[in-house]
Amino acid sequence: MSVLVTDASGNHALAVVRSLGRRRIRVVAADTTRFAQGACSRFCAGRAVYPSPENGVRGFQEGLIRIIETCRPEILMPMTERTILALGPARREIESRVGLAPLPSPDALRVAFDKQATIGLAASLGIAVPRTVVLQDPSDLAVLGARLSYPAVIKPRRSERLTADGRVTPGGPPEYCFGREGLQAAYLSVHRRAPLPLIQEFIPGEGYGISALYDRGRLKALFAHRRLRMIRPTGSGSSLRESVSAPPDMVEAARALLEALHWHGVAMVEFKRDARDGRPRLMEINGRFWNSLPLAVASGVDFPFLLYTLAREGRCPERFGYRLGVRARWLGGDARHLMEVLRGRPAGWTDSYPSRLRTVLDFLKPAGKDLHYDDLWLSDPVPFFAGLAGAVLRRLPGRVAPRRVPDLQGAPDA
């Protein structure tokens, strides 16, 4: 029994390594560096390095194939849009060498990875979405500006995109615009790195995630969480979240979307409960493992093992019950949340914003009832410090990178 996990720097990959490794399943963690946090876990049996898809998908594919040939895993689990997109044309070639963890069809992934396509599908199903505009030409901004409500959110259509020259590039974070005078600068900031982004109304309210595992269109597992703290208080991934009873209206909408796509594998559908009218509004579909995955595992829905079982046996048990009120904290993300709050409320921000004192006091609370940590485990501490070191190195002038060293598995550090 062996699994190759990509993108080992991510919290979700670390959760997969720990989940499977604790069950004595041999896990090889791969990334663009040997010092990814998942590769440093005591539950990881080996590590491997592949070229970054940002430098070219063909190099990534060739490096991944060499790792597969050397390590001989039974199952490959790609963790992010980046590696799923980079598999692209080589998907069949790779599947001839290793079992691929359940993934949706390319058409379903295209819709899930494209926020404009996702919103179009949701609207056709009667699911509430934020008011959204997509320009055909940036010159239309002058006319549009007077018709928008503010604040507005300018976000890339895709978190990652495959360029014409065969590279996968990140879309980057969204920008916020608080009035007509700032619209052009905010829009062009995103447009330069992710052409023709979406312009959406800002939705005030709490964020929720409905996580699911599907077996060829059949729901096998379900989990729901509520965001308690976000890395950026204006909107981003969460640093603290809590398991909750799945809201029926959100479950209905999430199921309608995923079943319309005949989903196969894992997904997390994000919503915000609109504070103005109480309706859930769709934000996006994460068509792969999500960053807050450790909470689901801690609450009793072990998505990594369920997906592994589905990949290996062609079926898996259903899992719909879980413990409520469980909290999971990403300490690294919470430190970033603290820094964001200490910088102060962004100019023009009209929604609620955390107080500095309350945030400092909350950050200093090391424990609480049923509180788990995504990254820092006393029984497996090294990944946290590896992640911390990586974050520091990325912020040094010149972005100092760790020196490549021969891989423990014998796979090339391509």
pLDDT digits (tens, 9 = 90+) for 70-87: 999 999 999 999 999 999
Asked whether residue 155 falls in the same domain as residue 9, the answer is no
Asked whether residue 107 falls in the same domain as residue 171, the answer is no
Q: Which candidate, 224, 220, 223, places its Cα nearest to that of 310?
A: 220
* Listed residues 156, 182, 201: the one ending a domain: 201
Q: Is residue 272 part of a domain?
A: yes
| Token code pair at residue 301 | 């829905």
**pLDDT one-digit tens code per residue, 323-338:** 999 999 999 999 999 9
What is the extent of the structural domain holding 145? 131-201
Asked whether residue 251 falls in the same domain as residue 336, the answer is yes
DSSP state of 10: S
Q: Which residue has the higher pLDDT, 59 or 144?
A: 59
Q: Evaluate whether 260 touches 125 at the Cβ level (below 8 Å).
A: yes
Asked whether residue 122 falls in the same domain as residue 74, the answer is no
325-334 b/e (C-beta count within 10 Å ≥ 16 → b):
ebbbbbbbbb
Q: What confidence tier does 234 reach under pLDDT thresholds 50, 70, 90?
A: confident
Asked whether residue 259 falls in the same domain as residue 355, the answer is yes
C-alpha 310: how far from its chain's center? 21
* Listed residues 152, 173, 201: the one ending a domain: 201
Model pLDDT, residue 211: 98
Asked whether residue 248 falls in the same domain as residue 329, the answer is yes
Which amino acid type is present at position 332? Answer: G
Model pLDDT, residue 400: 44
Residue 407 pLDDT > 60, yes or no?
no
Q: Is residue 238 part of a domain?
A: yes
Asked whether residue 236 falls in the same domain as residue 328, the answer is yes
Mean predicted lDDT score pLDDT of the chain: 91
**Dist CA 221 CA 303 (whole Å):** 8
Model pLDDT, residue 347: 77
What does the pLDDT average to over 42-56?
Answer: 95
Residue 365 pLDDT > 90, yes or no?
no
Residue 410 pLDDT > 70, yes or no?
no
Model pLDDT, residue 395: 67
What does the pLDDT average to over 390-401?
Answer: 62
Asked whether residue 191 falls in the same domain as residue 241, the answer is no
pLDDT > 70 fraction of the chain, expressed in percent and rounded: 95
Q: What confidence tier does 389 reach under pLDDT thresholds 50, 70, 90?
A: confident
Which H helix or E strand runs over 398? none
What does the pLDDT average to over 11-21?
Answer: 97
Residue 272 pLDDT > 90, yes or no?
yes
What does the pLDDT average to over 331-346?
Answer: 90
**Dist CA 175 CA 341 (whole Å):** 17
Which amino acid type is present at position 362? Answer: D
What does the pLDDT average to over 138-159?
Answer: 86
Q: Is residue 406 part of a domain?
A: no
Query: What does the CA dihedral 188, 189, 190, 194 come to, rounded to 10 degrees?
Result: 80
Q: Is residue 403 part of a domain?
A: no
Query: For residue 128, how many C-alpha atoms fall within 13 Å in the half-sphere facing its CB?
Result: 14
**Dist CA 397 CA 305 (whole Å):** 40
Model pLDDT, residue 139: 81
> CB under 8 Å, gap of 24 or more: what pairs does 349-358 form?
349/151, 349/176, 349/178, 349/234, 350/151, 350/178, 351/151, 351/202, 351/204, 351/234, 353/233, 354/229, 354/233
Residue 315 pLDDT > 90, yes or no?
yes
Q: Is residue 180 part of a domain?
A: yes
Model pLDDT, residue 312: 95
Model pLDDT, residue 205: 93
Domain count for the chain, please give it.
Answer: 3
Q: Which candidate, 121, 199, 122, 109, places its Cα nearest to that of 162?
A: 109
Q: Is residue 18 part of a domain?
A: yes
Asked whether residue 140 falls in the same domain as residue 28, the answer is no
Q: List beta partners, residue 269.
A: 210, 285
